[in-house]
Structure 1
Amino acid sequence: MDELGLIRGAQAPSVRIIGGGLTGILAAFEAHRLGCRRIELHERFDQLGGSAWPRRDHGLELRPERLYFGQAGDPARALLEANGLAFEDFENRFGSVSPAPGGDLVFTHDFEGPALRTRKLDLGPVTGDSLADRIRAYPHDIAQQLTRYSQWALGAWLDEVSAEAAMPLGIKRVHATQIETCELARAKRADPVYDGMYGIPRALWGRLQNLTASLPAEGFQTFFQRCRAALERLGVTIHTASMVSPQRAFAAREAGELVVWAADPTPLFSPLDLEPPRRLAKSLVSYIFKARYAGPLPFHVRNFTAEGAVFRIHLYECRGQALLSAECVAEVSDSDLRREVHRLMSGFGGASLHLDETLSIQIEPRWGQHSVDAARKLSNLHGALARSQGASFVAGAWEAQNPSASLAEISVSLVRALDLQQAEAVAA
């Protein structure tokens, strides 16, 4: 335990964590690291893992979404490893498919964003907080294609979509293909705005970040089961099939407990007399196939052509079997889907790809909070919670984009709450 935890030790309050997904699990481990010893974790499902808990078919994990951890030293991974969880490193490989004149495709290796033609880099100001405002800052030829792609992917007016949606859509950075790499590199080095909106494929840029990533050893189901065992060894009390209402959570905070709401924030709006956000209604349809593939695994490809149905392809291995997940913006026939997957993979060793039986078809909502309305109302919720519940009610890093970002946000909030509790104890 660190010095901070030793100082707090017996004075630390009880901690009640609502939500047993990855964020709640990280919150429980971090609370223990900071010296808390009376920790309860509540999860509404029968097991920990939340939405990341994978279904199985004949012993194979069906993962419609891509979830990776960082390389050695990544904060979330380090915290989990310190509690006995094991990870396996892999070479982090990916690519993108972008449109070209005449209906051709541009295949870009080691770059997750769109590669689009433009002869100038000039950026205009970003005048608002919508995705449309962000896109309009690009040169016209880039903005036109990004608008077409975003509308295809989301089926929404882009003035209603938060600029933060650029990351899950894969368009946070654009590779300007008709600009010399050295010129683009100079612009990125000279101006953080250009650095944040333009990108260069890893092989051209010479950067070594994110060369490796990691996955839990033996899969995600085993990972979450071992998380539970590790938490129980630390003395954390885990309640599965347990729904905790906001009123009950507020009452626990009033009784002196430190509460972490790591679950969906939607139930918190009504008790605080706040209007809940209007969420984007777009759903994705995920098809998972058994596959044979001679290329690197895991591997994922994004489709920026705004054509067909496939939004993203994710290839991964489970128990020696290659699996392919195709996330689609709409339902599609089996023959059309297989044809489209092969076309998008043709620039990434697609000749070696063979799709076998379909294991799963799943329809589920995505990007539920990436509207301008949701972003503003989540901000209002944070303020209302701070005013009515104080530092001892910790918001669950709802806007964070990855496990380490969630951990960092929750850790800061836990430290603030514990420091306040300690100061009050000393004053008393």
Structure 2
Amino acid sequence: MGQHVHVGGPKLPKVRIIGGGLTGVLAAFQAHELGVRDIELHDRFDQLGGQAVPRQDHGLELRERDLTFGSAADPVRRLLESHGVPFEDIENRKGAVTACNGDLTYTRDFNGPALRTRDLGLSPLAGDSLADRIRAYPTDIAQALSRICQWRLGAWLDEVHADTAAAIGVSRVFPVGPEIVEIAGLKRADTNHDALYGIPAPLWGRLQSLGASTPKDGLGPFFMRLRQALVRLGVTLTAPSFVSPHAALAGRGADEVVVWAADPRPLFKPFDLEAPKPEAHSLVTYILKVRYAGHPPLEVRNFTAQGAVTRLRLYETRGQVLLAAECLTETRDTDLRREIHRLMAGFGGAGLSLGETLAIRMEPRWDILSLDAARKLTHLRKALTRSEGAAFVAPRWEEQDVAARHAALTLDLAQALQVSAPAVLAA
């Protein structure tokens, strides 16, 4: 990616970034890419990466969550590679398990639900809730999808924002029954059909979607390399450093841009706005040593609306394959292992041997967006714009996709700095 520096133009403002997770780190790299040379990055912890930094057990990375990037054309990967951060290409293996009439359907190369239907017709998308999105499907799909989402979320779907569909893996449904050529034709002809229906990649020649990448040598070295690259660029890293919203707002200089890449909830109080209520949503992750005859990485999602496991991830760390089982609740060891084998039966489960459990961790997740939270985040952004103009950048905190969040952040940064955004991201 090329530099976007105003040669001979006025000096660009200082950029101060609050939050050292991946969003904050990418903001620092992008600010430098846009020509800024006075950049500060603050984080309240003593290392970059936030919650994405895995714990260690005898050198093995215990990843409650994973972090993957796109293929060689991914703008985020290209940005980081341009600063010496290496990646490894991987095959993006994924699958899903769906229940139908008491039987389990195993779908390869697609990680959404596969649901039977006799009708591909759609109603117009009307409304912002997850329930509104589900109502657009034919009745047989909508009923099955509602059961899956209620099992997964334990909430009224009319109160959950439609964007949550991506977080829980139901943004697209593979309609089982109609011919693939009919589904593909509708997807090509109509944006609603393309948004709501999906097809396993090999069935319609979209093999490029199977390509992805992962940081070389694991996530721990990845964040260390990011830190080293930022230091080489002259970015001032201040950690541990707690910056309150009041300090960020009141302390902002006239020639300074602030990027708040940390948790947005503390920002509501300075504007006398009611913050979103924390969602009562926690997941329990079990990490096991395994032997597996297949090829990790592999992600398998559970859409049976039964059991405790929502997702399985197999990954390799230092030559050892680990399995992370994401669960709705704590579960007995024997029940967990039985459910893992049931879900893996269609994905080389005969070659899977489960070993010792290395870690059990319950933690809150903030990827479930309520309609209330979405409205309040919109009100917060409007208040920030009225108060600070473009000089206080509020990232799309609710956006789950790293590339989409980074593209939006880049455009906002370019506007704050009054420079042109990179064409690859602005397109």
- What TM-score bracket applies, with the shorter chain setting the length? over 0.9
1:125 Cα deviation from its structure 2 partner:
2.3
- Alpha-carbon distance change, 38 to 268 in structure 1, aligned in 2, over 3 angstroms: same
Q: Which residue of 1 aligns with 2:107?
A: 108
Q: Which residue of 1 aligns with 2:415?
A: 416
TM-score (norm 1): 0.95
Q: Which residue of 2 aligns with 1:29?
A: 29
Q: Residues 385-396 of structure 1 correspond to what in structure 2 (within 5 A)?
A: 385-396=384-395
1:158 Cα deviation from its structure 2 partner:
0.6
- Alpha-carbon distance change, 157 to 3 in structure 1, aligned in 2, over 3 angstroms: closer
Q: Which residue of 2 aligns with 1:77?
A: 77
The Cα offsets for residues 1-46 of structure 1, whole Å up to 9 and x where unpaired, read as 9563142776011110000000100000111111111111001111
- Alpha-carbon distance change, 8 to 219 in structure 1, aligned in 2, over 3 angstroms: farther
Regions of 4+ moved over 6 Å: none
Distance 2:8 2:379 in 1: 32
1:367 Cα deviation from its structure 2 partner:
3.4
CA contact (8 A) 2:121 2:137 kept: yes
Root mean square deviation, CA, Å: 1.5
Return the letter of the residue paired with 1:16: R
Q: Which residue of 1 aligns with 2:423?
A: none
Q: Residues 261-340 of structure 1 correspond to what in structure 2 (within 5 A)?
A: 261-340=260-339
Q: Which residue of 1 aligns with 2:170?
A: 171
Distance 2:156 2:18 in 1: 34
Distance 2:323 2:187 in 1: 35
- Alpha-carbon distance change, 369 to 351 in structure 1, aligned in 2, over 3 angstroms: closer
Q: Which residue of 1 aligns with 2:117?
A: 118
Q: Residues 371-390 of structure 1 correspond to what in structure 2 (within 5 A)?
A: 371-390=370-389
Distance 2:69 2:51 in 1: 16
Q: Which residue of 1 aligns with 2:154?
A: 155
Q: Secondary structure at the match of 1:209?
A: helix
Q: Which residue of 1 aligns with 2:424?
A: none
CA contact (8 A) 2:367 2:398 kept: no
1:107 Cα deviation from its structure 2 partner:
0.3
Q: Which residue of 2 aligns with 1:424?
A: none
1:294 Cα deviation from its structure 2 partner:
1.0
- Alpha-carbon distance change, 412 to 193 in structure 1, aligned in 2, over 3 angstroms: same
Distance 1:185 1:214 in 2: 27
1:73 Cα deviation from its structure 2 partner:
1.8
1:145 Cα deviation from its structure 2 partner:
1.2
Q: Which residue of 1 aligns with 2:196?
A: 197
The Cα offsets for residues 162-216 of structure 1, whole Å up to 9 and x where unpaired, read as 0000001111110110111111111111111011001111121211232211111
Distance 2:174 2:22 in 1: 33
Distance 1:166 1:345 in 2: 23
CA contact (8 A) 1:253 1:392 kept: no
1:252 Cα deviation from its structure 2 partner:
3.2
Return the letter of the residue paired with 2:282: S
CA contact (8 A) 2:16 2:259 kept: yes
Structure 1 stretch displaced more, 351-360 or 270-279: 270-279
Which runs of 5 or more residues in structure 2 are unaligned? 421-427
1:394 Cα deviation from its structure 2 partner:
0.6
The Cα offsets for residues 41-91 of structure 1, whole Å up to 9 and x where unpaired, read as 001111000110111111100111122011112111111011110001111
Q: Residues 104-253 of structure 1 correspond to what in structure 2 (within 5 A)?
A: 104-253=103-252
CA contact (8 A) 1:274 1:381 kept: yes
Q: Secondary structure at the match of 1:221?
A: helix
Q: Which residue of 1 aligns with 2:96?
A: 96
CA contact (8 A) 2:201 2:210 kept: no
Query: Identity, % of aligned pairs?
Result: 60
Distance 2:293 2:252 in 1: 54
The Cα offsets for residues 249-274 of structure 1, whole Å up to 9 and x where unpaired, read as 11232443110001111010110111
Q: Secondary structure at the match of 1:112?
A: coil
CA contact (8 A) 1:262 1:397 kept: no
Distance 2:267 2:419 in 1: 24
Distance 2:125 2:278 in 1: 23
CA contact (8 A) 1:19 1:262 kept: yes
CA contact (8 A) 1:41 1:237 kept: yes
CA contact (8 A) 2:283 2:363 kept: yes
Distance 1:298 1:276 in 2: 38
Structure 1 stretch displaced more, 409-418 or 333-342: 409-418
- Alpha-carbon distance change, 2 to 340 in structure 1, aligned in 2, over 3 angstroms: closer
Q: Secondary structure at the match of 2:208?
A: coil
1:124 Cα deviation from its structure 2 partner:
1.5
Return the letter of the residue paired with 2:24: G
Distance 1:411 1:127 in 2: 30
CA contact (8 A) 1:277 1:373 kept: yes
CA contact (8 A) 1:98 1:303 kept: yes
Return the letter of the residue paired with 1:139: P
Distance 2:236 2:248 in 1: 16
Q: Secondary structure at the match of 2:170?
A: coil
1:410 Cα deviation from its structure 2 partner:
1.3
Which runs of 5 or more residues in structure 1 are unaligned? 422-428
Q: Secondary structure at the match of 1:12?
A: coil
CA contact (8 A) 1:279 1:369 kept: no
Distance 1:10 1:386 in 2: 24
Q: Secondary structure at the match of 2:289?
A: strand
- Alpha-carbon distance change, 305 to 3 in structure 1, aligned in 2, over 3 angstroms: closer
Q: Secondary structure at the match of 1:210?
A: helix
- Alpha-carbon distance change, 120 to 369 in structure 1, aligned in 2, over 3 angstroms: closer
CA contact (8 A) 1:287 1:362 kept: yes
